[in-house]
Chains A and B, each alone.
Chain A
Amino acid sequence: MLKYLAKRFLTLIPVLLGVTFITFILMDIAPGDPAEIMLSRRDIEVTPENLERAREALGLGEPLPVRYLSWLQGVIQGNLGTSFTTGEPVSREIISRLPATIELAAGGLAVMFILALPLGTAAALLRGTFGDHLGRLTALVGASIPSFYLGLLLITYIAVPTQWIPVMGRGEGLIGLVLPSITLGFGLAATYARLLRANLLEVLQLDFIRSARSRGLKETVIIGNYALRNALIPVVTLLGITMGHLLGGTVVIERIFAWPGVGRLAVDAIFDRNYPVIQGYVLLMGVAFVFLNLLIDISYRFLDPRVKMEEGEGQTG
């Protein structure tokens, strides 16, 4: 197990080198000059001399490979550079935004599970009935409705008339989390409920379900212990990818609810050509994806004993 983890962590290195280097190149190719943007933001006249000085200050004078290597050197020492626009360390900027993003991701996933688990299961069990069709229709609507529209609907018809829930920002305690989580979770739930329904239908046709019935097990035990557990395995795979995306921030929802998350930070950084922040963000995403997928792979082990982590393990007979 430890050997396996070490191996997986080693794969992290080439992945991160790859994505950060590609981002570096892409940013360089992309039109727009960070020095120019910075000058105009600060109402300084854009003259060739001023531009030159600004470039120097931002460390843009060197050729690209040199810049990448010096950035890399900083990263190894735990220094992600400073933001072009605020002058704050990038790590501090990202860390200050991360809690809001994690909160929203957790809230969205919670809403997703609360909706998708019972709906997906019910749809599979009621296959072909009115309830199933209704559920599938709802899922279709949920999957098709754009999150900005759903978010605006919730704000207009729930937050504004009732005044219970803050319309914008995080508010006091967790109450501000409610509407963004619902907006996020609803769209996700549609996909997951459909996936769960399809998997469950497949598993319910397998022989071991018939065998469980032949032994007189209760239907609840058969669904919970036999069908759901096997049907959840593909769901967990998708969950790894979804969580990675959520940690990257959900730009649209963060915009609508004025949610101070990582996604907005990244989008603003892209508009400002704020290279260090973009680099820091990409690095975070790379780590998050690799790490979450590692977590998912480990969780397979508990869901499905047939999955072996390394040679010689898991086989006793």
Chain B
Amino acid sequence: MKEGRCLALIGESGAGKSITALSLLRIVPPPGKITGGEVILDNRDLLKLGKEEMRLVRGEELALVFQDSLSTFNPVRTVGGHICETINAHRRLPNGQAKEMALEKMADLGLPAGRVFRSFPFQLSGGMRQRAALAMALCLHPRILITDEATTSLDVTLQAQVLHYLKKHLEDCCMSILFITHDLAAAAAVADQVAVIYAGRIVEKGQLKKVFKQPLHPYTQALLRSHPSFCPGTLKPIQGSPPDLALLPEGCSFYPRCPEAAGICLSRVPEMLEVDSGRQVACHLVKSAILTKGEIAAS
């Protein structure tokens, strides 16, 4: 991810989007465990940080907004209390300054800041609560904001407003956003890069415009075909459901649902292949298509 950019992580329910977010912050709930890999932020591997160092990264450098705003907040504390607490966990500020920061951020998001600050979470509407959660995540100016379906529960006008604000924030504050969603339209509205995830693996990655215009991976194609704005008139759902991640099929995890699956897909996991600058796909078929094209060009 690059500074000031927004990467959308898309995929259907159960594809592993949320667990990716939790893994980045190292708060995967037990019995889940991170067994390998790296999370690199500014040349630091977050998986190798100590507990206290990691705590400081959370909220300050990586901020996460959850889908369900009611479960974001502690039911017995005020919204303002939450935000001030978050600020104080990272910075020592004189009295009142944290409150001012909180009020300012909430006003930015179009909330009646004073009232929301004093309210308990259950006293706010879903939309207000979600924006309050967003304000809380933004108040420390994180390097990367991770929104896990954060705008999905908002109504259309509010969603547009929040997306607009995020985009503006992106440019002004050198922040990056990891925009996790299954809403392709929302992804298209804010993101410039996109990564498509299936069964816990990224299957296609690249510039959003290119990927959406010309999807290479059969899963991306199928995903786009099931959305009205990409395929007007005829919606085609993807047959079947995502695999149980504990019982992944051998080979490419998408082959049982893939309309074009060939012999090789059953036996070997496809590797990520760079097809264009910044454009990567993990599919045997795309790979062989490119290879044949290359041979034709060579001969």
Task: Report which A residues bind B (CB closer than 8 A).
Answer: 205-208, 210-219, 221, 225-226, 229-230, 303-306, 315-317
Contact = CB atoms under 8 A, between A and B. Distances in A.
A304 B123 CA distance: 13
Given A213-B25, A305-B75, 7 more contacts: A211-B66, A213-B27, A215-B89, A221-B85, A306-B122, A315-B123, A316-B119
B128 to A, nearest CB: 8
B223 to A, nearest CB: 27
A51 B124 CA distance: 73
A206 B71 contact: yes
B86 A208 contact: no
A226 B75 CA distance: 9
B76 A207 contact: no
Contacts of A306: 75-76, 120, 122
A11 to B, nearest CB: 27
B68 interface: yes
A164 B82 CA distance: 50
A226 B56 CA distance: 19
B215 to A, nearest CB: 32
Contact of B71 (A207, A216, A315, A316): A207
Given A214-B58, A218-B55, A226-B74, A207 B136 contact: no
Interface string B16-45: 000000100101010000000000000000
B13 interface: no
Interface size class of B (residues with CB under 8 A): 35 or more
Interface of B: 22, 25, 27, 29, 55-60, 63-64, 66, 68, 71-77, 85-86, 89-90, 115, 119-120, 122-125, 128, 136-137
B76 A230 contact: yes
Contacts of A229: 74, 76
Contacts of B74: 208, 212, 225-226, 229-230
Contacts of A219: 55
Chain B binding surface, main DSSP class = helix
Given A215-B86, A304-B76, A210 B63 contact: no
Contact of B55 (A205, A210, A216): A216
Given A315-B123, A317-B119, A317-B125, A217 B72 contact: no
A311 B113 CA distance: 26
9 contacts: A207-B68, A217-B55, A218-B89, A225-B74, A230-B75, A304-B75, A305-B75, A316-B115, A317-B119
Contacts of B137: 215
B71 A208 contact: yes
A34 to B, nearest CB: 53
Nearest to A315: B123
A211 B71 contact: yes
A207 B120 CA distance: 17
A214 B59 contact: yes
B168 to A, nearest CB: 23
Given A221-B89, A315-B123, A317-B125, A215 B59 contact: yes
A303 B120 CA distance: 13
B55 A305 contact: no
B85 A225 contact: yes
Nearest to B72: A211
Contacts of B71: 206-208, 211
Given A215-B86, A215-B89, A221-B85, A210 B120 contact: no
A219 B89 CA distance: 10
B27 A214 contact: yes
Contacts of B55: 216-219
